[in-house]
Amino acid sequence: MTELFLDTVECPGITPFDPLNWKLAKQHVVHLGKSCLAISSGIAAVATLCSGQVFSLSTSESLSHYHSARKNVEELLEDDDKDFDIVLVAVFLLCMFELIHSGNITPSLREPGSTFTQRLQAWGKNQYLHSELSTRIVTWLKILYSASFRGGAMGLLSERVVSLLPNFTGPLPNLRPPVDQETEISNHLYEVLSSPIFDFYCQLQTLSGEIARLSLYHRSRTKRKDQQEVVERMASLKTRLRALWETRCATQRQSPEHLRSQMVPRIANMISSLISICEAAYHAEFIDIGRQLGDPVSQTPDSRDALHRIKEILDDCQGDSGGINPGYLRPLFLCAIESTVKEQTNWAVEKLAKIQNRVYRGEFFSAFAKALSEAQTHNDRRVTSRYFCIWYFGITPPFL
């Protein structure tokens, strides 16, 4: 099971943007699982879920592992002798399962028990004692928190839990390999250059979560003053987005050609890819804001410019194998459902289908975007994506 976990498990919204730390984190988690039942059962749940999706197998067995893992986590919480860092790893595995499964499961941290919140509160006050793995997991949990409010979803974590998570400023320390492995020196340059880029992405996701919680699903607009308040807050968020972009690091301002002239091709390509998916994620927020406000795309320069720039990025970053980096999933989906030009919509739909790792559900989101776009064209107006997905496919949309 651990081999499946190491080979197949990826997490949308995290793995494409933090690949080396993701790989190292999985190795650390496997090591911890050797002496912790809650972690090993969480590994089994996530591994069977992801491998089932990757190899087109039934994922029903994964639910059994998941419920066992939840029970084991509850028992782990009652053991005060166990460090909370261990609990955090086990809980993160549950959250990851819930995000990827996107089924009829009440997330474990949406309504956590008092034991968990009390231990989290006590642990959060001792920031100097937090391990590199725990620091990274806290940051990943906040990314999942933001992502899990998009499209009308109700969130994986409660606001209470998020408020108790420690706040870290600046680039995070990169994970080190387990003690029985040597550090790959060739990756050191990538780690140094990618840290501020990932920090940019983390700040972007915080803003993205705020945008998501201003949608019609989460923010009433029954009165004129409600709509006006949303418009004002969205304008403020646009200003903050642009301020974040203006303060991006020097590496993010480099062209792929310049990067390749300064370092070995492998590292240059990895950095260039990270820069591109982060820029696409940035532009996607402007498209989302336009959709949330209900502004016609043809009359919204920010959305038009964002659509154009995302297409430019994708056209310049076509992979050698023809596959598409999963980090483009959300930008492409928004391009497909917001473009008013049929050729551009078809382009985005085709690109979505080329996201090859099935954990990201590229084929589903391609079909979803195509059907939703056609419905919007037929009705000559935007169609609510969540309810359309339930009506058309019979399921709530997966987290995006």
One domain, residues 81 and 162: yes
Answer with the one of 114, 144, 167 that is the final residue of a domain: 167
- Indicate whether 178 belongs to any domain: no
Question: Regarding predicted confidence, which is higher, 125 or 223?
Answer: 125
Query: Among residues 287, 311, 335, which one ends one of the domains?
Result: 311
Are 71 and 30 within one domain? yes
Q: Are residues 297 and 337 in the same domain?
A: no
Determine the Cα–Cα distance for residues 153 and 399; give it in Å rounded to an integer. 8
Q: Looking at the predicted structure, is the pLDDT value of residue 170 above 80?
A: no
* Same domain? 247 vs 387: no
Same domain? 307 vs 328: no
Are residues 229 and 351 located together in one domain of the fold?
no
Q: What percent of the chain has pLDDT over 70?
A: 97
Would you call 295 helix, strand, or coil by DSSP? coil
Residue 372 lies in a domain: yes
Q: Is residue 172 part of a domain?
A: no
Predicted confidence (pLDDT) at residue 320 exceeds the cutoff of 50: no
Count up the domains in the chain and report the number. 3
pLDDT (tens digit, 9 = 90+) per residue, 239-275? 999 999 999 999 999 999 999 999 999 999 999 999 9
Among 6-10, 38-42, 216-220, which stretch is predicted with the lowest mean pLDDT?
Answer: 216-220
* Same domain for 252 and 155: no
* Residue 208 shares a structural domain with residue 94: no
Following DSSP, what letter does each residue of 118-142 receive, concatenated?
Answer: HHHHHHHT-GGG--HHHHHHHHHHH
> What is the predicted pLDDT for the residue at 298?
57
> Cβ of 360: how many Cβ atoms within 10 Å?
27
Average pLDDT (221-234) is 84
For residue range 66-110, list pLDDT tens digits in order: 999 999 999 999 998 889 999 999 999 999 999 999 878 889 999
Are 162 and 145 in contact, with CB atoms under 8 Å apart? yes
Q: Mean pLDDT throughout 207-224?
A: 83
146/78 Cα distance (integer angstroms):
29
Q: Please tell me whether residues 111 and 161 are part of one structural domain.
A: yes
Owning domain of residue 234: 204-311
Q: Are residues 41 and 159 both part of a single domain?
A: yes
Q: What is the rounded CA–CA span in Å between residue 239 and residue 125? A: 32
Res 296: pLDDT = 65
pLDDT band at 188 (very low <50, low <70, confident <90, very high): confident
Res 299: pLDDT: 61
Which of 311, 341, 369 terminates a domain? The answer is 311
- 281: in domain: yes
Task: Tell me the C-alpha distance between 68 and 74, whole Å.
Answer: 10
Residues 273 and 239 occupy one common structural domain: yes
Does residue 259 sit in the same domain as residue 279? yes
